[in-house]
Amino acid sequence: MTAPTVGRPDYARLIQADRVHGSLYTDPRIFADELARIWYRTWVYVGHESEVPEPNDYVVKNIGPQSVIMTRDRHGTVHLLLNRCSHRANQLCEAARGNTGALRCQYHGWTFGTDGSLLGYPFRQGYDGNEAKASLGLGRVTRVDSYQGFVFGSFAADGPTLREHLGAATDVLDRVVRLSPENEVRLTAGWLRHEVRANWKMLVENETDGYHPQFVHASIFEVGQSHVAAMYSEKSAATARDLGGGHTEHDLRPQFRAEDVPLGWFGTTVDRLPDYVRAMREVHGDATAREILVDGSPHVMIFPNLFIAEIQMFVIQPLAVDHTIQHVTPLQFKGAPDLNKRLLHQVSGSVGPAGFLLADDSEMYERNQRGVASRVPEWLVLRRGLHRERADAEGHLAGAATDETTQRGIWRHIKHLMTEGEQA
């Protein structure tokens, strides 16, 4: 009798073109592999420059389970520092945000600058001079880069640049930012934190799932008399698109949804936001302003953790194989106070403590997790729309709004990352 082979999971078998194995959501070994090959290697969204506007501002963020301090040093440079004292590893920042010239560890009082350098320590005579001090700054995320103010970090010293990683998703981020009359997103509204007992990939897949809204969100669509429901129906012209690199989009622009209502993307019209519309016209002229307002804000999942859903932004943080936090904030735009007020109000109603939208999704994540954790893990089907997806004009695979084109794109990329460097 041959002993079972113990080794890496066979990702080429577990991830197939039209199905994925349930163990991908439940096996702690696979979660450890994902940390090594995805979260602690590829570019991961961490925070936005607008969250640290002033010199010496800091905010506590994360890359998966790793706590990270995003700072702006006194010269204006943004850093991603590990939230770990270089003396005995005490977690340095407990407060979520603040402004200080010196981050002080509570254990033995070492202090660090917002650039990560060790500023000083008590009882200096116990140390042998400045040489040690120079090498005892805070650990840092290996590579830091930003696009349109969105700050990403990677623990890999080499590999694709951030621009290469984002690929076609840069266009989608451009479409978000141009909604500001001053071409700038500002995340100033604070964050909601939703914790779910589910694997992180359940969230990533659902964010880009156009099949469930008609069912899971039926009650909020009914109460809100929202036109969004129509975008995720069999009759919708909206398009599910695999942008490559694990990034996906539901394209809801009018050419894909047979609708032409300025600002219709968040259920209002131009007369409701006169100041915002006036500012956009002044900057862009009537025709371009109209085009921007009709196109609206995108619905995009930037792999592995940044989801922008028209009016709000979600950041996914995996903690364990069946434990994930989702951080949510309303999009806010520089130079658009009336729009910002409306967005804040809308997001409170959809994903706030009294909102239905995220609560309904969270219920599905946890039920899904209980399902995949069955004693005999089986396959999850990803076949919807496979026969009808095709390459669009830009060469991206596209399908109907309710097709699983997006999930297949995500899994193709995960398979690539999990098998990269393996012998064929």
* Residues lying near ligand FES in the complex (CB under 6 A): 85, 87-88, 90, 105, 107-110
Tokens of 216: 């899971």
Report phi then psi at 39, rounded to 5.
Answer: -65, -40
Interface pick for Fe ion out of 249, 361, 389, 404 (rule CB under 5 A): 361
Q: Considering only the stretches 24-32, 54-62, 73-81, 359-367, report the one whose residues sit in contact with Fe ion under the rule CB under 5 A.
A: 359-367
Instruction: Residue 379: name its binding partner from Fe ion, ligand FES, none (Cβ under 5 to 8 Å by kind).
Output: none
Residue 30 or 103: the one with the smaller Cβ distance to ligand FES is 103
Cβ distance to Fe ion smaller for residue 172 or 228: 228
In terms of CB distance, is 109 or 274 closer to ligand FES? 109
CA dist., res. 244 & res. 261, Å (int): 30
Position closest to Fe ion via CB: 361
Q: CB 212 → Fe ion: shortest distance, Å?
A: 6
Total interface residues for Fe ion by CB under 5 A: 1
Task: Pick what 200 binds: ligand FES, Fe ion, none; C-beta below 5 to 8 Å, kind-dependent.
Answer: none
Ramachandran assignment for 9, one of left (phi > 0), alpha (psi -120 to 50 degrees), beta (any other): beta
- Shortest spacing between CB 140 and ligand FES, in angstroms: 17
* Closer residue to ligand FES, CB minimum distance, 107 or 215: 107
- Give least dist CB 217 to Fe ion, A: 6
Q: How many Å apart are CA 67 and CA 58, to the nearest integer?
A: 13
Please state the closest distance from residue 52 (CB atom) to ligand FES, in A: 23
- The amino acid sitting at 208 is T
Looking at the DSSP assignment, which residues form a beta bridge with residue 143?
154
Interaction partner, residue 87 (Fe ion, ligand FES, none; CB < 5-8 Å by kind): ligand FES
CB of 139 to ligand FES, least distance (A): 13
Q: What's the CA dihedral at 30, 36, 42, 45 to 10 degrees?
A: 80
| From Fe ion, ligand FES, none, interface partner of 78 (C-beta below 5 to 8 A by class) | none
Shortest Cβ distance from residue 213 to Fe ion (Å)?
6
Report the distance separating Cα 217 and Cα 211, nearest Å. Answer: 11
b (16+ CB within 10 A) / e for 83-105:
bbbbeeeeebbeeebeebeebeb
Out of ligand FES, Fe ion, none, what residue 361 binds, judged by CB under 5 to 8 A for its kind, is Fe ion
Amino acid, res. 53: P
Q: Which of 45, 52, 71 is nearest to 327 (CA)?
A: 45
DSSP state of 308: E
365 closest CA partner among 193, 232, 197: 197
